[in-house]
Structure 1
Amino acid sequence: MTKKALLVMAYGTPYKEEDILPYYTHIRHGRPPSDEALQDLTERYEAIGGISPLAKTTENQAQAVLDMLNEQDKENEYELFIGLKHITPFIEEAVQSINEAGIKEVVTVVLAPHYSEFSVGSYNKRAREEAEKFGINVKSVDDFYRQEPFLDFWVDAVQGAFKEIPAEEHDATAVIVSAHSLPEKIKEHNDPYPSQLEETAELLKSRVNLKNVHVGWQSEGNTPDPWLGPDVQDLTRDLDGTFKYKHYIYLPLGFVCEHLEVLYDNDYECKVVTDEIGAGYHRPTMPNTDSRFIQAMVNELLAL
């Protein structure tokens, strides 16, 4: 058996309220946020119960990937390391720990199904650059949204959501597929991210025979640059003006678990809009540690 490291990377989240300022400062490349911006973020966390459940869920997802990978790969034995983008353990710290463990072969996966140079690409680059310092070989998963188990999960999710809606109102139901917005400038470099989300929507449509599927973006950053749109809230209002849908099913499938962007940006902000227009709000449970979601990542890791 060959010993390898499994490096699972994710965005990271504050562990406690005191972490919010340094976390937000790191996201802003070392520039502290204004008091107003910090207060706004703190209030968003308070609105979902204090602090995001993301940290624990990331650990659970990483452990689930490790367990399944070790079970299915009969030639290698993996040890788990977690590396985060904006809070400790940072990606570089995780690679340093891999080096200290004496492991020279690493496979990596980011807890995000779609690829952008701006997101997953930046995680992989940080891991690779740190690994080069120690002569560690890195192989990385870029995306896993085409994996059948991933699609199976979301097929079941959207079908489950339709069961909450009277059959006679299915034709008056919109499905909004979304992911985290990124700056529009990524299009200048032919970044695959926008087309991958569109493709995911088409893959779902072909499997469920969905009629009213719309692609939106959410959770854009607070910067002067334009971000990918339409924003899901604006999209909902526009669709109401054009189609008068009675129900909206939100599938934030660019995300992987219940956290701030889903619990606040969808369950609070989008619901404000559906309440305002008198439509029903629906959002299936996120993948979290569902075995199909975990298998999608493991399939890609085994193929490296």
Structure 2
Amino acid sequence: MNVLLMAYGTPYRREEIEPYYTDIRRGRPPSPELLAELEERYHQIGRSPLSEITFAQAIRLEAALNAALPLFPEPLRASPGPRVRGPARVYVGTKHWHPFIAEAVQAMAEDGVERAVGIVAAPHFSNRSIAEYRQKVEEALAKLGRPFEFRLVEAYPDHPGYIEALTNRVLEQLWRLREPRAALFLFTAHSIPEKSAGDGVYQAQVRATAEGVARRLGLLHWDVAWQSAGRTPEPWIGPDVNERLERAAAQGFSEVVVTAVGFPSDHLEVFYDLDYEAQNTAARLGLRLLRTRSLNADPDYIGVLRDLVLREWASFPVLERSR
């Protein structure tokens, strides 16, 4: 079994921020003002742990898959050597920095992979997220002459394990509230341009996730808000989380719990947009703002990834001998 785990990617050093940002902007270098703004955001949070978390997810997912699969589906014909290797291998490819998705696909081809399942550490489908990851994989495969079959887990907004993991993290904050039944619970995801969200699929999936958690906990007051809109002149879907906090204060709420359901891992847009910017907005408004911890590489989230990969792998036709 071969798995390509994909994530957004993040730079490791300050000098990498500009080429990273240029890749995000589809090859257009950022203006000095935009570059300075992004550099300041990284300075404010210290450092994004996204790469470390992604590799931890890959290591733990590989271990979880190998724990669930038979180590040797065929009788041994010789000693396997000093290290026992399971049948599952997890590769990492990121969208905007090293190891790029194309680099991961190249490594898989060199390893003789015949078929693979891809999964993105993002639960909701949109043309600006999952669709772009698929496109990058397909382009890499085409360039190499399509050396292996590939199938992608496209979304998992209402996976029971995912909903349960989020519910448990909201519950942790529920106990910290002074008046739980009077608090507002906001569920956030990355905003995308309105022109990319015209079919409403992305918004509906994010709301389905929020509704699943709200139903499990019997939340009286909850809503969906958006964050991390790009610096472009085109309109992006809203309301922005800071705008929603403004309205929450006007509605008489004094406590708000924010859960970044669109971001399984801690990274720049969680630390800066929520822990810094939204916290400053809340303080100005006199709101008490609590954020639930991220899923990261915790065992419950790894269990979700394992289940999704196993399901997708099972959709391949049976081969006499598969890797």
Instruction: State TM-score, norm by structure 1.
Output: 0.94
- The Cα of 1:135 is off from its aligned counterpart by 2.8
- Distance, in Å, in 2 between the alignment partners of 1:123 and 1:273 is 33
Query: Structure 1 residue 206 and structure 2 residue 218: aligned?
Result: no
Is residue 145 from structure 1 mapped to residue 157 from structure 2 by the alignment?
yes
1:158 corresponds in structure 2 to 170
Confirm or deny: 8 A CA contact 1:116 1:191 kept in the other structure: no
> Take 2:157 and 2:305, find their aligned partners in 1: how far apart are those partners?
9
- Paired residues for 1:23-38 under 5 Å: 23-38=20-35
Letter in 1 for 2:184: A
Output the CA distance in 2 between the equivalents of 1:240 and 1:135.
Answer: 56
Q: CA deviation at 1:152?
A: 1.1
Unmatched segments (≥5 aa) in structure 2: 74-85, 313-323
> What is the rounded CA distance, in whole Å, between the counterparts of 1:186 and 1:22 in structure 2?
25
- Does the 8 Å CA contact 2:181/2:219 hold for their aligned counterparts? no
Structure 1 position 291, deviation (Å): 1.2
Matched, 1:41 2:4: no
- Per-residue deviation, residues 211-237 of structure 1 (Å, max 9, x unmatched): 110100000111111111000000110
Are the aligned partners of 2:194 and 2:236 in contact in 1 as well (CA < 8 Å)? Answer: yes
Equivalent residue, structure 1, for 2:253: 245
Unaligned residue ranges in structure 1 (runs of 5+): none
Instruction: Kindly provide the CA deviation profile for residues 182-232 of structure 1, in whole angstroms up to 9, marking residues without a partner as x.
Output: 1111233x2511100111111111110001101000001111111110000
1:130 matched to 2:133: no
Question: Whole-Å Cα distance in 2 between the matches of residues 102 and 81 of structure 1?
Answer: 13
Note if contact 2:61-2:90 (Cα within 8 Å) is conserved in structure 1: no
Q: Distance in 1 between matches of 2:98 and 2:35?
A: 20
CA contact (8 A) 2:126 2:197 kept: no
Does structure 2 retain, via aligned residues, the 8 Å contact 1:144–1:296?
A: no
Please tell me whether residue 281 in structure 1 is matched to residue 277 in structure 2. Answer: no
Corresponding position: 1:111 with 2:108: no
Pick aligned residue for 1:62 from 58, 63, 86: 58
- The answer (yes or no) to whether the contact 2:117–2:152 under 8 Å persists in 1 is yes
2:7 is matched with which residue? 10
> Does structure 2 retain, via aligned residues, the 8 Å contact 1:117–1:191?
no
Q: How many residues align?
A: 296
| AA matched with 1:162 | L
The one of 212, 231, 239 equivalent to 1:222 is 231
Q: Secondary structure at the match of 1:13?
A: coil
- Asked if structure 2 preserves the Cα contact closer than 8 Å seen for 1:144 and 1:297, the reply is no
CA distance in 1, matches of 2:213, 2:292: 15
Q: Residue 256 of structure 2 contacts residue 289 of structure 2 at CA under 8 Å; is this kept in 1?
A: yes
Q: Match of 2:243?
A: 234
Deviation per CA, 1:29-53, whole angstroms, max 9, x where unpaired? 111111111111111101111x211
CA distance in 2, matches of 1:81, 1:159: 33
**Shift in alpha-carbon separation, 1:247–1:198, aligned structure 2, 3 A:** same
Q: Kindly state the Cα deviation for residue 92 of structure 1 after the two structures are TM-superposed.
A: 1.0
How far is the alpha carbon of 1:12 from its aligned partner? 0.3
**1:94 and 1:250, CA in 2 relative to 1: closer, same or farther beyond 3 A?**
same
Identity, % of aligned positions: 35
How much has 1:273 moved relative to structure 2?
1.2
Deviation readout 1:224-256 (Å, 9 max, x if unpaired): 111110000001101211x21110100011001
One-letter amino acid of the counterpart of residue 296, structure 1 = V
Structure 1 counterpart of 2:201, one-letter code = P
Query: How many Å separate the matches in 2 of 1:5 and 1:137?
Result: 11
**Residue 145 of structure 1: CA displacement?**
2.5
Question: Once the two structures are superposed, what CA deviation does each residue of 1:68-117 show, in whole Å capped at 9, x if it has no partner?
Answer: 11211336812221111111211111111111111111111101011112
- The answer for the alignment partner of 2:187 in structure 1 is 177
How many angstroms apart in 1 are the aligned matches of 2:238 and 2:154? 23
